[in-house]
Structure 1
Amino acid sequence: MAEPIHITRSISIDPAEIEESFIRASGPGGQNVNKVSSAVQLRFDLRNSPNVPEPMKRRVAALAGSRITKDGIILITSNAHRDQPLNRTEALARLVALLRAGAHVPKPRLATRPTLASKKRRLEGKSVRSAVKRMRGRPSGEE
């Protein structure tokens, strides 16, 4: 049996949850590209994974963006290398990085008020800009 893949100290996923399929890669490679299926398509069912807590699933789904399907399956394709094992390693590393990023709970933002000095700086900047724009206008007939 394969070892579990550790995401954090308390969260790890079973390698049996990850499904790999090998496809032909596009791009340069000569005759090799037409014969060998070196690209890897990795699928991980996030929605039905028993090892990932529900709040983390929501964060990972938001981070995954277009890499997640409507059914909650994360799809990662790797075809950067001409070697199948390197593509497998890279795809798995990208999945683990995505899950680790989703495991991080963001610190809630505390609303703060602008300081008096920052308000004054902002108003001074506005008046300087206003003066510059006023000087760009037509000269008045007072001369």
Structure 2
Amino acid sequence: MADDLVVNDRLVIPAGELRERFSRSSGPGGQGVNTADSRVELTFDVRRSSALPDALRERVLGRLAHRLVDGELTIAASEYRSQLANRRAARERLAQLLREATAPPAPKRRPTRPTRGSKERRISAKKRRGEIKKGRGQVDL
């Protein structure tokens, strides 16, 4: 339970379903960059996950389709110099992505009609604008 990824109060991803790969970060950093594998790639297989109920899995697959490769979601983190900090950042980013992807859809908008007052305000604004434009007509010399 210690390494499990807590997405929200109802969804916890077991640590066994997450894969981590470590590699060298790019960019400045001197000697440390050339020796430390501080970059983290965190991969979660959405399609084969047992932690996601079928309804949530379909929702995640639909909403994150542009980010998935063969049903797998990969997050890369290399903004910190330490591997541990990058692991935390990648896990938090994955949790945030899954939180947003599993959120229930917004309720449908009920169509409404404009009120009489809003129609009158719109028409009077149009008339005022028309009067301003009419005042810009040709000047008689």
1:117 is aligned to 117
Task: State how far apart, in whole Å, the 2-side matches of 1:105 and 1:46 are.
Answer: 18
Label 1:64 to 1:80 Cα distance change in 2 as closer, same or farther (>3 A). Answer: farther
**Once the two structures are superposed, what CA deviation does each residue of 1:16-61 show, in whole Å capped at 9, x if it has no partner?**
1100001111111112112211110110001111211233234434
Identity of aligned residues (%): 36
1:63 & 1:32 partners in 2: Cα distance?
Answer: 38
Per the alignment, do residues 77 and 3 of structure 1 end up closer, same or farther by CA in structure 2, a change over 3 Å counting?
A: closer
For structure 1, the residue ranges without an aligned partner over 5 or more in a row are none
Find the counterpart in structure 1 of residue 107 from structure 2: 108
Tell me, yes or no, if the aligned pair for 1:39 and 1:87 is still in contact at 8 Å.
yes
Q: TM-score, normalised by structure 1?
A: 0.80
Structure 1 residue 133, shift from structure 2 partner: 3.9
Instruction: Say if 1:121 and 1:87 are closer, same or farther in 2 by CA, change over 3 A.
Output: same
Aligned length: 140
**Pairwise CA distance, 1:5:** 2.7
One-letter code aligned to 2:28: P
TM superposition shift of 1:3: 5.2
What value does the CA root-mean-square deviation take over the aligned residues? 2.4
Report the AA paired with residue 20 of structure 2. Answer: E
Match of 1:16 in 2: 16
Alignment-derived partner of residue 77 in structure 2:
78
Asked if 2 retains the 8 angstrom alpha-carbon contact of 1:60 and 1:98, the reply is no
**Any stretches of 5+ residues in structure 2 without a counterpart?**
none
Indicate how the Cα distance of structure 1 residues 93 and 54 shifts in structure 2: closer, same or farther if over 3 A, else same: same
Where in structure 2 are the equivalents of 1:123-134 lying within 5 Å? Answer: 123-134=123-134
